C-alpha cells in the first residue's frame, strides 16, 4: 500500500511514461520485500524460539534481536519515496488531482488547472484592460466592452473611438472535463503540468478571429470615411454608392451618409447563427398578433431564413438565442403568483445547454450573443445569467436605463400592437391643416406617469383630449383620433415602453414622449429631436404651453419628418430594405461592430 501511495504521489511530467516503466518493477520487488519483512517480524516477536531461514543462512535469534537483514529491508522501504519523488515540485500528481477533485467542484477543478497556464495571460489581460474586468453580478455596472459610442451614442462617432479589446476568462457555465477536452476540438488542451497543448482546430480559431476582425475593421474604416461627409455636404459619397432605396438627407438622421454606408456593409458581411436547441412553443416561436408582435415577428423571420441567417456558426458574427419570454410567461407563469423564477431558470438552463454543447458562448462569455424580448419581464429574465445581463446584446422593448438597460450594448426594440397581425389601414393620415386636435391620449391608468397626466388634463381643456377610456359618445375610433391630432401623447405605463409611439408614427402624428429613463428605438441612427417632442414628467402641467410654443412652420417640418421616418417602423412580409426588421438587424450589427472579442488562449 505504501508503494501504491508513492506511485500515486509521483509527479506527472512529459517523461511520466518512462518513469512508470522503470518504477513498476521496483515497486513489485519492494512490495514483495515488504510482505516478507512483516511476516518475519511477526514470527520473531510471537514465536521467538522458532528457527527461521533468511536468504541462505540458518540462524536462531530472539524476537527482540531482529537480524540485520530485517533492518536492511526496512531501510529499503524508503527507497520508493526517494525515487518517485524526483521531479519538479510544481507538477501535479495523480494523487493531487484526485484529492482536488474531491474537494473542488468540476468547474473549480478545471479553472484551477487552467490557472497554471494563465499566469502569463493574466499579465497581458492586466496590461490591456486594467479597469474593465467583467462583473459577475447583475447589480454592478456592465463592463466597458463596447467602444464607439460617447454619451449620446450616435453612429458617426464610430470614427473617433477604437473598439475595445476584450479578454475573456473561462466561462463558469462551461461543461468541464479533467483536461478541458472537447470532442469538437475547439478548446485548448491542458497537460497535467500546466503546459499548453494547442488542438489542431485552435489554429483555425485564430485564423477565424483574424478574418472576422479584418472584416469588421474594413467596415469601420468605410463608415469612418462616410461619416466625414456630413448631412447636406457636397461630398461625392452618395454618388459613389448608388442605391435606389438610399436614405434621404436631412435632420432625421444623426449622419445619413454614415448610416447608409453602415447599412451597405451590414448587407455584405453580417451573418447571424440561430441555435437549433429547444423545442416550440417556448423556443423558435413567438406571438405575432398582440402587443408583443415585434418579438414574434423577428423570431419567425429568423426561423424562416433571410439574408442575414447562416447555418455555419464559424461564419456568424453573432449568435441568436431563440427563446420567447412572452411564451414562457404564457406556459410557465401561474397567474397571480408573481413568481418569475420558472422563467429565469428556463433561460439559465438554456444558456447552460448551449454553452455545454457549443464553444461559442464560452469563448466570449456571451458578448457576441443576443436575445430579444418585448415582454416587461424580458430584462428580469436575463438577471439569472450574469454574463447574459452584463455582456450579451439584449434587444428589449423595455429599454429602461434605471433597470440596467445599457445603450452601448443593448438595443431598444419598438413596441407594436398588431391586433390582426397586419398593418393594413394603420398607415397614413391627413395633412397638418386638417388636424384640429392639439394633443390626444386614451389609455388605461397604468403607472404613475399616466396618473399625473390624467389628474392634470382629463376633462380640463378642449385642446388637450386625455381619456382613460375613449367615450363612445364621441362617435370616433381610436385610430381616427390619432389621425385628427397634431400631437399624440405617449406616456409610459407600468414600464417605459409604449406602443403609442409607433401608432403615432403610423398615423403621421408627431409623438410626444413622456417617460423617465426610456431610450427611444434606433436612437443611435435617428435624431428623435427632429420629429418628436420629449416632455419631462415634471413639465406635464405645462404641456399645452410647450406644444403651443412650436410654430406652425416648425410643426409642418416635424410632421413631414415623421412621414420620412415611418418606413423604418413598418413591418413587411417578407421584409424590405430599411424597414423595421432591417433596422433591428442594423442596431445589432452596430453593437457587434463595436465589439472586438479576444477569446481566451
Checking if the pLDDT of 17 tops 70, the result is no
Using the predicted structure, report yes or no on whether residue 197 has a pLDDT greater than 90: no
pLDDT value, residue 62: 43
What is the b/e burial string over 250-270, where b = at least 16 CB atoms within 10 angstroms of the residue's CB? bbbbbbbbbbbbbbbbbeebb
Given a cut of 90, whether residue 203 has pLDDT beyond it is: no
Distance CA 189, CA 202 (A): 10
pLDDT at 474: 77
Decide: 84 and 6 in contact? Cβ < 8 Å: yes
Nearest to residue 332, comparing CAs of 311, 346, 349? Answer: 346
Q: At what angle do helices 94-103 and 106-117 cross, to 10 degrees?
A: 130
Domain edges within the chain = 2-94, 104-421+575-601, 432-569
Q: Please give the model's pTM, rounded to 2 decimal places.
A: 0.69
pLDDT at 471 over 70: yes
Specify the pLDDT at position 491.
97
Give the DSSP letter string of 184-220. Answer: TS-SPEE-TTS-EE--HHHHHHHHHHHHHHHHHHHHH
CA distance 136 to 142: 9
Q: Which long-range contacts (CB under 8 A, 24 or more apart) does 418-425 make?
A: 418/288, 418/289, 418/290, 418/293, 418/571, 419/289, 419/290, 420/289, 421/288, 421/289, 421/293, 423/506, 423/570, 423/571, 425/479
Residue-by-residue DSSP string for 481-533:
HHHTEEEEEEE--SSS--THHHHHHHTT-EEEEE-SSBPPTTTTTB-GGGT-E
* Range scoring the smallest mean pLDDT among 112-126, 203-217, 303-317: 112-126
Mean pLDDT estimate for the chain: 76
Measured from the Cβ of residue 19, the count of other Cβ atoms closer than 10 Å reads 18
pLDDT at 550: 98
Three-state DSSP at 100 gives helix
Three-state DSSP state, 58: strand
Assess whether the previous peptide bond of 189 is cis (omega < 30° from 0): no
Q: Using an 8 Å Cβ cutoff, are 274 and 303 in contact?
A: yes
432-569: CATH topology: Rossmann fold (3.40.50)
Determine the pLDDT at residue 38: 67
Q: Give dist(CA 189, CA 198) in Å, integer.
A: 6
Each residue's pLDDT tens digit, 498-533 = 999 999 999 999 999 999 999 999 999 999 999 999
More confident residue, 334 or 92: 334
Any idea of the CA torsion for 132, 136, 141, 142, to the nearest 10 degrees?
60
In the chain, the percentage of residues whose pLDDT exceeds 90 is 55
User: Quick check: bond before 172 cis, omega within 30?
Assistant: no
* Farthest-apart Cα atoms in the chain, separation: 130
C-alpha distances out from residue 459 to 101, 455, 469, 475, 477, Å: 72, 9, 12, 17, 18
| Residue at grid coordinates 464553444 | 359
Give tens-digit pLDDT for 443-462. 999 999 999 999 999 999 99
Which residue, among 559, 433, 435, 544, has the nearest Cα to 489 in the 3D structure? 544
Range with the largest mean pLDDT of 88-97, 177-186, 314-323 = 314-323
Amino acid at each position: 500500500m505504501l508503494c501504491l501511495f508513492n506511485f500515486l504521489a509521483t509527479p506527472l511530467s512529459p517523461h511520466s511514461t518512462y518513469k512508470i516503466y522503470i518504477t513498476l518493477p521496483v515497486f513489485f520487488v519492494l512490495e514483495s520485500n515488504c510482505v516478507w519483512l512483516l511476516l518475519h517480524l511477526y514470527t520473531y516477536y510471537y514465536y521467538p524460539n522458532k528457527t527461521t531461514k533468511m536468504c541462505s543462512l540458518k540462524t536462531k535469534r530472539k524476537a527482540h534481536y531482529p537480524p540485520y537483514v530485517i533492518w536492511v529491508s526496512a531501510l529499503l522501504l524508503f527507497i520508493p519515496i526517494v525515487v518517485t519523488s524526483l521531479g519538479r515540485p510544481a507538477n501535479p500528481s495523480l494523487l493531487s488531482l484526485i484529492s482536488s477533485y474531491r474537494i473542488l467542484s468540476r468547474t473549480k477543478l478545471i479553472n484551477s488547472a487552467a490557472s497554471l497556464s494563465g499566469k502569463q495571460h493574466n499579465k497581458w489581460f492586466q496590461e490591456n484592460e486594467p479597469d474593465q474586468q467583467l462583473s459577475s453580478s447583475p447589480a454592478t455596472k456592465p463592463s466597458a466592452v463596447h467602444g464607439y459610442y460617447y454619451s449620446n451614442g450616435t453612429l458617426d462617432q464610430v470614427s473617433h473611438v477604437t473598439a475595445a479589446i476584450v479578454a475573456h476568462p473561462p466561462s463558469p457555465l462551461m461543461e468541464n472535463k479533467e483536461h478541458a477536452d472537447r470532442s469538437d476540438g475547439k478548446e485548448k488542451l491542458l497537460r497535467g503540468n500546466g503546459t499548453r497543448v494547442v488542438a489542431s482546430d485552435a489554429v483555425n480559431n485564430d485564423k477565424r478571429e483574424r478574418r472576422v476582425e479584418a472584416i469588421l475593421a474594413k467596415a469601420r474604416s468605410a463608415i469612418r470615411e462616410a461619416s466625414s461627409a456630413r448631412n447636406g455636404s457636397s461630398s461625392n459619397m452618395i454618388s459613389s454608392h448608388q442605391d435606389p432605396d438610399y436614405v434621404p438627407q436631412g435632420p432625421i438622421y444623426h449622419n445619413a451618409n454614415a448610416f447608409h454606408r453602415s447599412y451597405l456593409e451590414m448587407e455584405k458581411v453580417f451573418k447571424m447563427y440561430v441555435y437549433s436547441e429547444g423545442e416550440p412553443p417556448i423556443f423558435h416561436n413567438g406571438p405575432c398578433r398582440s402587443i408583443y408582435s415585434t418579438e414574434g415577428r423577428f423570431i419567425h423571420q429568423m426561423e424562416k431564413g433571410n439574408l442575414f441567417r447562416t447555418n455555419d456558426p464559424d461564419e456568424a458574427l453573432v449568435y441568436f438565442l431563440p427563446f420567447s419570454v412572452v411564451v414562457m410567461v404564457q406556459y410557465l407563469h401561474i397567474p397571480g403568483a408573481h413568481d418569475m423564477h420558472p422563467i429565469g431558470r428556463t433561460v439559465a438552463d438554456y444558456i447552460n445547454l448551449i454553452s455545454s454543447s457549443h464553444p461559442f458562448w464560452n469563448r466570449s462569455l456571451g458578448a457576441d450573443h443576443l436575445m430579444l424580448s418585448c415582454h416587461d419581464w424580458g430584462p428580469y429574465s436575463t438577471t439569472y445569467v450574469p454574463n447574459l445581463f452584463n455582456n450579451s446584446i439584449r434587444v428589449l422593448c423595455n429599454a429602461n436605463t434605471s433597470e440596467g438597460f445599457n445603450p452601448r450594448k443593448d438595443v431598444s426594440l419598438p413596441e407594436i400592437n398588431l391586433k390582426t397581425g397586419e398593418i393594413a389601414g394603420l398607415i397614413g393620415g391627413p395633412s397638418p391643416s386638417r388636424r384640429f386636435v392639439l394633443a390626444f391620449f386614451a389609455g388605461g391608468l397604468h403607472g404613475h406617469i399616466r396618473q399625473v397626466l390624467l389628474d392634470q388634463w382629463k376633462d380640463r381643456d378642449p385642446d388637450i383630449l386625455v381619456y382613460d377610456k375613449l367615450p363612445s359618445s364621441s362617435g370616433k375610433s381610436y385610430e381616427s383620433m390619432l389621425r385628427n391630432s397634431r400631437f399624440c401623447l405617449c406616456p409610459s405605463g407600468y414600464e417605459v415602453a409604449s406602443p403609442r409611439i409607433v401608432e403615432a408614427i403610423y398615423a403621421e402624428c408627431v409623438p410626444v414622449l413622456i417617460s423617465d429613463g426610456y431610450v427611444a428605438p434606433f436612437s443611435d441612427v435617428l435624431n428623435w429631436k427632429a420629429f418628436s417632442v420629449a416632455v419631462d414628467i415634471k413639465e406635464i402641467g405645462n404641456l399645452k404651453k410647450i406644444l403651443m410654443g412650436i410654430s406652425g412652420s416648425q410643426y409642418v417640418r416635424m410632421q413631414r419628418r415623421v412621414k420620412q421616418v415611418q418606413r423604418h417602423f413598418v413591418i413587411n412580409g417578407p421584409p424590405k430594405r430599411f424597414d423595421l426588421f432591417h433596422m433591428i438587424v442594423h442596431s445589432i450589427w452596430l453593437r457587434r461592430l463595436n465589439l472586438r472579442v479576444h477569446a481566451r488562449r
